[in-house]
Amino acid sequence: MVKVSLKEYSPDDIRKILRRVEGVFYDEPIVLDLGDVRRAYIVGDIHGDAVAASIILRLLDKSDEVFIFLGDYVDRGSYGTEVFCSLVERKLDSPQRVFLLRGNHECQETNRYYGFYEELAMKWWEEGAALWDEFNKVFSYLPLAARIDEGRLICLHGGIPRRLRSLDGLKRYRKGWRDPEDDVLLELLWNDPDESVDEFAPNFMRGPGVFLFGRKAFERFMQETRAELMVRAHTYIPEGARWFFDKRLLSIFSPIDYVGRPVNGSIALYDRGELKVVELRKLR
């Protein structure tokens, strides 16, 4: 059994860590081009789950592999602070090996209402509310996408936006916003794939402004971007991972305990054109 405890952080520790990492994220582009990375572990939503984070960090700490995290570190689970701070400490130690992308829960309007604000306020009252603001400032500088292996694999949190032709189009955008400033940014963080959709359809499960994207939209985007494979997160998947569109898109979900709902938390391993699913329970 893996030890489930993550390190504890005081408000002073947190402020120091956030201030150190702010400039690191600030300097990263909105799309990370990691062309010479041929092999990487890719991690989906963690949502404040200390057990899943412990297993993933143990793997990270004992290996030299590149790790790309797809966002949704906070909300829902009770350990968003510890999960994000412990990932940030690895980022500070190995900025060229550990990459943190932004999820829709690293946005202020979302993490105000889905648990992270309460987590901080319950622990530290007014000081917690002030820390919430500092976390959100750091979140605003997280990159939105990464591509590796000469662009063969794309990693992002949600999905393909209706008005984005290729990943290069995203480079027109700056970072630093607390909540998505337009439909492209919102949809990139929120959209979901769906085999029964051709292009795009309203996403009634998620709400107004969010869309399902289908095979045609996916294939066109991948062709325009000259990419072969995509890994994304964002959707609750009980089995931990699900393939779409002839196994060109892999959706992963990485908590072990997801607010009491069953989940076989999984991560992905990309190795020179091959994508594999790794179940966290097999690493325990």
Q: How far is CA 16 from CA 32, 37, 269, in A?
A: 25, 30, 32
Residue 176 identity: G
The encoded tokens of residue 262 equal: 């069953």
How many residues make contact with Mn ion (CB under 5 A)? 4
**Minimal distance, residue 73 CB to Mn ion, in Å:** 10
* C-alpha to C-alpha distance for 98 and 87, rounded to whole angstroms: 8
* C-alpha to C-alpha distance for 151 and 63, rounded to whole angstroms: 24
Q: Give, as one character, the DSSP assignment of residue 42.
A: E
**Minimal distance, residue 144 CB to Mn ion, in Å:** 13
**Using CB atoms, what's the residue nearest to Mn ion?**
234
**Minimal distance, residue 20 CB to Mn ion, in Å:** 26
**Minimal distance, residue 48 CB to Mn ion, in Å:** 13
Q: Kindly state whether residue 103 participates in binding Mn ion, applying the rule CB under 5 A.
A: yes
Q: Give, as one character, the DSSP assignment of residue 161.
A: -
* C-alpha to C-alpha distance for 243 and 65, rounded to whole angstroms: 23
State which of residues 78, 81, 86, 104 lies at the interface with Mn ion (CB under 5 A).
104
Q: Kindly state whether residue 106 participates in binding Mn ion, applying the rule CB under 5 A.
A: no
Q: Kindly state whether residue 44 participates in binding Mn ion, applying the rule CB under 5 A.
A: no
Q: Kindly state whether residue 75 participates in binding Mn ion, applying the rule CB under 5 A.
A: no
Q: Kindly state whether residue 115 participates in binding Mn ion, applying the rule CB under 5 A.
A: no
Residues 225-264 close enough to bind Mn ion by CB under 5 A:
234
98-110 in b/e burial notation, b at 16+ Cβ within 10 A?
bbbbbbbbbbbeb
Beta carbon nearer to Mn ion, 49 or 72: 72
**Active-site residue 105, yes or no?**
yes
The encoded tokens of residue 130 equal: 């002030």
Catalytic residue among 47, 105, 157, 234: 105
Query: 212 by DSSP, 3-state: which?
Result: strand
Query: 68 by DSSP, 3-state: which?
Result: strand
Beta carbon nearer to Mn ion, 147 or 234: 234
Q: Kindly state whether residue 266 participates in binding Mn ion, applying the rule CB under 5 A.
A: no
Q: Kindly state whether residue 192 participates in binding Mn ion, applying the rule CB under 5 A.
A: no
**Minimal distance, residue 67 CB to Mn ion, in Å:** 18
Q: Kindly state whether residue 72 participates in binding Mn ion, applying the rule CB under 5 A.
A: yes
- H helices within 112-252, ranges in order? 116-139, 183-190, 215-225
Residues 142-161 close enough to bind Mn ion by CB under 5 A:
none
The residue ranges that bind Mn ion (CB under 5 A) are 72, 103-104, 234
Mind telling me the catalytic residues? Answer: 105
